Structure formats: structure tokens, C-alpha cells
Amino acid sequence: MTSSHTMQYIGLLLLAAILLQTIAVAVTFIYFSNVLSTMKETFSKSSVSCLMRANLRTIKAQELNAAEGKDDPCWQVTQQLHFLIEKSMSSRYQKEISSAVKDQDDSPRPKIAAHVTGSYIPEKDGGGQPNRKVYGQKIQSWESEKGLAFLQNVELSDGELVLPQAGLYYIYSQTYFRHMLIEEDESDREEEDRTLGESVRGKPMLQYVYKKVSSYPVPILLMKNARTTCWSRDTEYGLYSIYQAGLFQLGGGDRVFVTVSNVSTIDMDEKSSFFGAFLVS
């Protein structure tokens, strides 16, 4: 065999080896591609099947038996799905809560309230004197800052609460009466004894709550309470309280104030005599 024939024979062997190797690689690639495609399709169908037939009872059973559940592909699919749902819902509600809190902080609802209490400051000149437009005598010496008293977006002027905003207000008032008995002439006592009797006599106590509006010149009566009490001649003084409250629709700038039958008989202690209002809606 000549050298040329030998070279041709070797070349044919190399070409055959290359072709065989190429065919083997191609077959292997096609085989593994088919296997991967089959596995992917099987996994997809299995996941969908898990979701289609899943229910709360089976999921609960799998959660109670974690060791068995972890070996089940359906358990893994449902766990991942639950995790994604919880994460999505948590993120959504967290944004909504943050937005609501921010809106509340940016625009807080205004608070309108006042609670004024009795004060032993002497009345102003002319204060407490009868007014032909109202019943009784107006209490002017209310305390608005010390002790239990406060003003929140409400002004106190001349014994009157000035309400800044229209709305439904709860208004309340209590006055504490301390009646002192005055010694009388013997003739007056004998006359009174014949009229009322030996052991008792009475004095009326009245409390009024008024409002003032800019569109009407005369104050408007909102509430009235009265009490007449009898006590023994031997009593040095009598203590009686009157309380009343109610809901009223008021306009912006309206004023409310309290009058009593005799302002000099009021015990102006902060826990006994007080007056207030606050916005309901």
C-alpha cells in the first residue's frame, strides 16, 4: 500500500469519527430537550392540578403534618402561592394604612370645647345686675385658664362663650347656691309665722342658659331650671345645686351665657359652679 492510499484511509477514519461524534451530540441534545420539555409540562400540569383540587381541608391537613407535606409537590405549590398572596395583601394594606394616617395627620379635625369654672373675682361694674332683656343676673366672673378650666378654640368675653363654628353643640351648666339666713325683726317673724308656719320657709332658685345671635337683638332662652326649697329656721345656711344640659344647633359667632335669680348667692367653687360647651358635629 502506497503512502497516498494510507493518507486517504486515515482521512476517511477521521471524517467518520467526526460524523459519529456530531450525530451523538445531536441525539443527546434532542433527547435531553425532550426530557426537559416533558418534565416542564408535567410540572406545569401538576401545579395546575394542585390548585384545581386544593381546598382548605387538605391544606390544613398538610400544615398539621409538615414532614409529609414537604415531600408533596402540591404542598410546595400551595405554600408558595399563599406566601405570594400574603406578601401582596400585606404590602397593599400597609400602603393604605400609611396613606390614611398621613391624611389624618395633615388635616386633623378641629376641636372646639370649653369648660369654665367659678371664680371669686369680684364682678365688674354693673356685672350681675338685672337686665330687662333676660331673666336673672348674668354670671360674669368665670375662670377660663386655672385649675379645671380650659378653652379650646373658644373665646370667653364678658362671661359669654363665643363659639367660632356652626354646628351641633352640647351645652351644660351647674350653679351652686348658698343661701344665708338673715336675722329679721320680731314683728316680721311673727307675720311670717302666721303665713308660712313656725318651722319652714322657702326661697326660689333659678338658672337660665341664653344664646345671643347677631341677627336678633334680644338673647334667646335655651334652658331654664328652677327649685324652691324649704328649711328650718335653726339652719344657718342652705346648699342647693341646679344642673341642666342639652344639644343645640348654633351658628358661627353665637354666644352663650348663664344667668341666675341672685348672683350673690352663688358659691363660685370650681367643682361646684361651672359652665361649658363642646362641638358634637
Higher pLDDT among residues 93 and 150, named by residue: 150
Q: How confident is the model at residue 105 (pLDDT cuts 50, 70, 90)?
A: low
Q: From the annotation, which residues make up the binding site for Zn(2+)?
A: 230
DSSP letter string, 96-128: HHHHHHHHHHHSPPPP-EEEEEE--SPPPTTTT
Mean pLDDT of 116-141: 72
For residues 151 and 159, give the distance between their C-alpha atoms in angstroms, rounded to a whole number: 13
Fold of 113-279: Jelly Rolls (2.60.120)
Whether residue 179 has pLDDT greater than 60: yes
Whether residue 207 has pLDDT greater than 70: yes
Whether residue 184 has pLDDT greater than 60: no
Q: How confident is the model at residue 56 (pLDDT cuts 50, 70, 90)?
A: very low
For residues 24 and 12, give the distance between their C-alpha atoms in angstroms, rounded to a whole number: 18
For residues 281 and 279, give the distance between their C-alpha atoms in angstroms, rounded to a whole number: 6
The cell numbers describing 217, all together, are 337683638
Whether residue 74 has pLDDT greater than 70: no
Q: How high is the pLDDT of residue 155?
A: 95
**Strand segments (E) across 76-166:** 113-118, 137-138, 142-143, 150-152, 155-157, 160-162
The cell numbers describing 49, all together, are 392540578
Which of 171-175, 186-190, 221-225 shows the lowest mean pLDDT across its residues? 186-190
Higher pLDDT among residues 243 and 102, named by residue: 243
Q: How confident is the model at residue 59 (pLDDT cuts 50, 70, 90)?
A: very low
Which of 82-86, 180-184, 258-262 shows the lowest mean pLDDT across its residues? 180-184
Query: What percent of the chain clears pLDDT 70, i.e. is strictly above it?
Result: 60
| Structural contact between residues 269 and 118, judged by C-beta atoms closer than 8 angstroms | yes
Could you tell me the residue ranges of all domains in the chain? 3-105, 113-279
Whether residue 123 has pLDDT greater than 90: no
For residues 173 and 206, give the distance between their C-alpha atoms in angstroms, rounded to a whole number: 12
Q: How do residues 25-54 score in pLDDT, each as one tens digit?
A: 888 888 878 877 777 676 555 555 555 554
Mean pLDDT of 120-127: 54
Q: From the annotation, which residues make up the binding site?
A: 230
Q: How do residues 214-270 score in pLDDT, each as one tens digit?
A: 999 999 999 999 887 765 666 656 678 899 999 999 999 999 999 999 898 898 889
Whether residue 125 has pLDDT greater than 50: no
Task: Work out the angle at residue 207's Cα, subtended by the Cα atoms of residues 201 and 209, and round it to the nearest 5 degrees.
Answer: 170
